A and B are shown apart, each in its own frame.
Chain A
Amino acid sequence: MSDDASLIAASLAGDNAAFGRLVSAYQDRLFNSLLRVLGSREDAADIVQDAFVQAYTKLNTFRGGSAFYTWLYRIAFNLAMSHARRGKRTASLDDRKSLVGDEPMDGRPTVDSGMMQQERAELVHAALGELSLEYRQILVLREIDGCSYDEIAEILDVPVGTVRSRLFRARMEMKELLSPRLHFERIVDTR
């Protein structure tokens, strides 16, 4: 029995501390993903809590057919989707411009030009905010969480074929957003 499975079993037996350990194990990973999806630390923290609470209440429905975090992500991403669709605050590009500057990097700054890692991260973060929620979710799941296509399909409840096509389109759109700001060729070349 995996650690997650034993903690889940203990939680189901009434050991809240066991569930607390599950929370501790996954809260930051989930928070990070949700932060990239929602763009707001506050909203991300709220959804993390909501997701764990909901997971706890539904824990008896978890059959163990998939990893706990996959199941948890599915809950969390559904909540995030509902949250975003309710018009709740999600980080917009404008919000992020305040972080990266008002003007795009017309000069095609490169790593060599001295762009700081932090600045580039902010640009990427801002670009993510311009994607549709679906694209954002799938990119985060794949690039940040490293989920396989099967796992993404399970979390988002879509066919694997959809995952592949949607991920490709998300990347293409992201490329369009980042091209004015980042010199991909140089980045690629430097790696």
Chain B
Amino acid sequence: MSEREFQPELDDELLSAYLDNELTVEERAAVEARLANDPDAQHLLHQLRSVSQSVQMLPLEGVGRDLSGEILRRVEAKKLGSGEASGGDSSAVGGVTPRLPIFGSRRSWIWATLAVAAGLMIMVLERGDEKGKQLPAVAQNESANADRSAGANGSPEKRAETIVSAPSPSAVAEEDGEKAALRKLSVDSPSGSVAGSSESDRLAVSAPEDARKPTTSADGELRPRIDTSLDVSGDNKSKLVAGAEPQAMPRPASLPNEGAVARSAAAGAPAASTKLGDEQQSTGDANDLVVVHVSAKPAAIRGGEFEKLLARNGVEFDADAKAEDGIAGESLKKTPASSAESYDKSRNLNGANKSVDIVVVDAPRDVLAACMAELQHDESNFASVEVEQPAANDRAATAAAGITKQLGSELRQYNRGMNSYQQSAGARFYAGDSANKDQGQLSDESKRSANVGGGPSQNNQPVQNQRAAQMNRGRALRVQAGRDEDQASRAEQLGRRAGEFGGGGGESEALRRNVAQQQKPQNENSEEVRVLFMLSPEAVSPAPSKKAAN
């Protein structure tokens, strides 16, 4: 019987209230007057009283236990969960001894289960965060274009200080027996670098807070595999400390992702950070990125000598990335001859806003050594070659990057004719998770990334061995083409490109100058490593303009 259906008279309602002594004096008087003359009212009053008494006669039931302990434990848990942790000691309440709040009821069991699940998740995330904190790196490149090489023109000084986050899952493609699979590069956390046109150009990009966070592309063109390999547009909160010259190193007003990679890329530095895979997180170390500064003569740049050099040593450029993405860096294979002039112009080789080409190279160690040796001896095309050194006061961080340090030392023997590049304090590249500290193999994440768009991922050594056996033993991706394009968009593109690189898809192409080496050397020279080459035109005149630090 619903409340609507039942339409008691007001007087009857007063009888109920009369029973409860909830009437005013006037109402009570009126009810009593009615009761004195109305037997039905009397009968109803008796019935209502009976109902009331029947309910009141229900026995009192108790919980049967003291709930205070359980309740206070829940309160504590809730406070902890909401960050309001306090030092309450629930066990002291009522003498209740501590016990798991999982026995009281089904609800308690659910809470307990959720708490355990949440705890596990927090543990996993915390672990990831720690990794992420190690990954961010800042790199400061003081590039003074001192022409130490014979016949070299005075080279402009340039400084680029970049923080590069290199959470870097490398990607290795594995299509059994297929060259395409071998071409897939693992871009373990390619990091961004900065190229400045003037000596005071400085970029400082803070590391991403969460390098592992999947990124979303600003535009829909970003291919899935890129997403899987690079964290280009994640929520990384990098901070661009100083911007490069507006044209040469324009900084994006806003990036979809504040990641160091995207920022440094936007600032003219190549940046590519890969998402961290769980596997890598568990095995990777934060390593500094080996950065090699190469000063090339304009003719060499126009002629794609650097790319040719890489090719001669078995490093293959990814060929179609630009066509697909429209990213700044065009393939050098296509660039040289016919478009030499425009290329030269676009790069403004003689202008103040010269920019730096950044090429990430993934190759076995011996291949890289061969490349470096050739660079060292090819004075006709390359004015100088120098491996950036970590800052003296950044040793602690560098120390952890044993792989990078070792590789850097190895490659440093090929230095020639340049001012010392040293990473500034607090500015370093983190090769991070890209390096598989134990095996020197491509990381699982790298393999996974490489596999995107490719065949089934198989994180196994045979793939790497197979790659080493190929003619093209290394792969290169130009992540920045040193052109005066919309840097903001380029930032994403670079990241995208790098992601593509990392993804190792057959179509991805775009490799160029800087090589981020993150792959931890595994065994001998055959282990694959990653180096970031920063190729700058030697003839560039020093740009006096300075960038305002951001």
Q: Quick check: A124 and B55 within 8 Å, CB to CB? A: yes
A52 with B94, Cβ < 8 A, contacts A168-B17, A174-B55 known: no
Q: B16, A164: Cβ atoms under 8 Å?
A: yes
**Which chain B positions have C-beta within 8 A of A35?**
61
A14 at the B interface (CB under 8 A): yes
Q: In the complex the two chains form, is A188's CB within 8 Å of B75's CB? A: no
Please name all residues of chain B whose beta carbon is closer than 8 Å to the beta carbon of A50 when the two chains form the complex.
107
A149 and chain B: residue at smallest CB distance: B22
Whole-angstrom distance between the alpha carbons of A24 and B67 in the complex? 7
A16:B22 contact, CB within 8 angstroms:
no
A21 in the interface (beta carbon within 8 A) = yes
Residue-wise, chain B 63-75 has the 8 Å CB interface mask toward A (1 for contact) of 1001111111011
Using a Cβ cutoff of 8 Å, how many contacts connect chains A and B?
A: 177
Q: Is B546 an interface residue (CB 8 A)?
A: no
Cβ of A135: which chain B residues have Cβ within 8 Å of it?
A: 3
Closest residue of B by beta carbon distance from A25:
B68
- Among A23, A32, A132, the residue within 8 A (CB) of B61 is A32
- The listed residue (B3, B54, B63, B108) touching A187 by CB distance below 8 A is B54
Interface string of A175-190 (1 = CB under 8 A from B): 1101100101101100
* A1-B47 Cα distance, complex, nearest whole Å: 42
- Is B50 in contact with chain A by the CB < 8 A criterion? yes
Is the pair A49, B107 in contact by a Cβ cutoff of 8 Å?
A: yes
- Decide if A95 is an interface residue (CB 8 Å cutoff): no
Q: How far is the CA of A65 from the CA of B486 in the complex (A)?
A: 64
Give chain A nearest CB distance to B64 CB in angstroms. Answer: 9
A191 within 8 A of B: yes
A120 at interface (Cβ–Cβ under 8 A)? yes
A182 touches B75 (CB 8 A): no
How many B residues touch A, CB cutoff 8 Å?
55
Instruction: For chain B, residues 48 to 100, give those with C-beta under 8 angstroms from any C-beta of chain A.
Output: 48-63, 66-72, 74-76, 78, 86-90, 92-94, 96
- Shortest CB distance B62–A (Å): 4
- Chain A binding surface SS class: helix
Residue of A nearest to B107 (CB): A46
CB distance B20 to A142 under 8 Å?
yes
A16 nearest CB neighbor, chain B only? B88
Chain A count of residues within 8 A CB distance of the other chain = 62
Bound-complex Cα distance A48 to B67 (A): 9
Interchain CB contact under 8 A, A187 and B50: yes
A99, B72: Cα distance in complex, Å: 35
Residues on B with C-beta less than 8 A from A165 are: 8, 13
Q: Is the CB of B93 within 8 A of A17?
A: yes
Q: Which residues of A contact B22 (CB under 8 A)?
A: 148-149, 164
Q: Closest chain A residue to B57 by CB distance? A: A121
A125 to B69, CA, bound (A): 30
Residues of A within 8 A of B78 (CB): 53, 57
Known: A16-B92, A19-B93. 17 other contacts (CB 8 A): A16-B86, A16-B93, A20-B96, A31-B62, A45-B67, A46-B105, A48-B63, A49-B104, A53-B78, A135-B3, A144-B56, A168-B15, A169-B6, A169-B8, A174-B54, A175-B47, A188-B50
Chain A residues packing against B (C-beta within 8 Å): 14, 16-17, 19-21, 23-24, 27-28, 31-32, 35-36, 41-42, 45-46, 48-50, 52-53, 56-57, 117-118, 120-121, 124-125, 128, 132, 134-135, 139-140, 142-144, 148-149, 164-169, 171-176, 178-179, 182, 184-185, 187-188, 191
The 6 closest A-B pairs by CB, nearest first: A20-B93, A16-B88, A184-B50, A168-B16, A20-B68, A143-B55
